[in-house]
Amino acid sequence: MTRTFVVPDDGERRRVDRFVADVSGLSRSFVQKLIADGRLTLAGEPIKANAVIGPGDRLELEVPAVVPLDVAGEAIPLVVVYEDDDLLIVDKPAGLVVHPSAGHASGTLVNALLGRAGGAEYGGIAGVSRPGIVHRLDRDTSGLLMVAKDDAAQASLMAQLKARRVKKTYLALVQGSVAANVGRIEAPIGRDPKHRTRMAVVPDGRPSVTGYRVRERLGAWTLLELDLVTGRTHQIRVHLEAIGHAVAGDPVYGTGTSRRGPDGLDRLFLHAWRLELASPMDGHLIRATAPLPAELEAVLERLRDGDRPRGLPVASGAGR
C-alpha cells in the first residue's frame, strides 16, 4: 500500500521522519525502519530519515503488505465492551499478556483475537505480531483496550493517540491519604539507571503527565481516578510511587504495606476504567467503560466495612 503526504504550505521546515510519523499515525521507529528500507521517496528518490523537508514537498511511503502471522488463534474468552465495523474494545482481565513475546508464545490477547469468530482480520500496520493493537496494558492491569479491524482504523487510532485525543481514565487504589483532591503529576520518565528492568522519574526521561482526582478515601488508602495524558511504560505506577502513594499490590514499585496491599488483595489494583475517542469511521464520540472486576470491588467493600460505624447502610460501589 502506498500512502502520499504533502507538506503543508505553512513556511515551516521539519525532519521527514517526524513529519511522516505525525501525519500517518505510525510510530516513529516503524517509519524510520521503512525509510531505512528505501520505502519513502521524494520526487521518486529515496530520502533519509534526518532529511529536512519544506512546504509543498510530496512524499510517497510504501507500507508493505502484512506478512501472515505465525501465531495460532486460541479459544480464550474475551469480554467485548464495544464493537462496530472498524473497532473492537475489549475488557482485558489481569494476568493476560497483550501480545506474544519471549516466554509468552501463547495464551495472549493476540491469540484470543485471532481465535475469535474463526479468525477475524485486523489492522497490520503496527507489525505482524500486533494485529490491530494500537496500545497495550501491563499484564497485571485489567480494563479497556482498543483493537482496530483494518489498516485505516488502525492509522486513525494511532494518530489520535499520538495527538493525545484519546482520553484514558484509570482507577487505582493507592497507599496513604492523598492530600489534594485534584492534582497533576508532571515528571519525566525513563529507564531506571540502577534497575534496567524498571522505569523511574529521571531528569533526561520523556515528558510524562498524569492527572488525578480523589474518588474515595478509605482510611489508610485512597481510591483515585487517573487521566493518562501521556502513555509511557508503567507511567501511572511510576508517577504515584514518586509522590509517595504507590499503587496497592504493585510487586515492582511498591514496598512493604503498599506491595502487600489491603487484606484480600492478590493483584495490582489498577484498572483501565474508561475510554473516550473519535470513531475511525465518521468521527462521532465513542465512550466505553468497564466496571471494576469483582475481586477489586470486594477489596473496597472490606475497606468500607472497616471504616463504617455500625448501623450505617452499605455505600454504592466504585465501578458505577
Give the residue numbers annotated as catalytic, written as ranges: 138
The answer for residues whose C-beta is within 8 angstroms of residue 50's C-beta and 6 or more apart is 15, 16, 17
As to burial, measured by CB atoms within 10 angstroms (0-12 exposed, 13-18 middle, 19+ buried), residue 167 is middle
In a 3-state reduction of DSSP, which class is residue 5? strand
Q: One-letter amino acid identity for 252?
A: V
What sign for the dihedral angle of Cα 109, 112, 117, 123?
positive
CB distance 245 to 222 below 8 Å? yes
Give the cell for residue 258.
503498599
Q: Which grid coordinates belong to 314?
A: 452499605
C-alpha count within 13 angstroms, C-beta hemisphere, residue 144: 26
Contact 113, 78 (CB under 8 A): yes
Question: How many Cβ atoms are within 10 Å of 179's Cβ, its own excluded?
Answer: 11
Q: CB of 178 within 8 A of CB of 151?
A: no
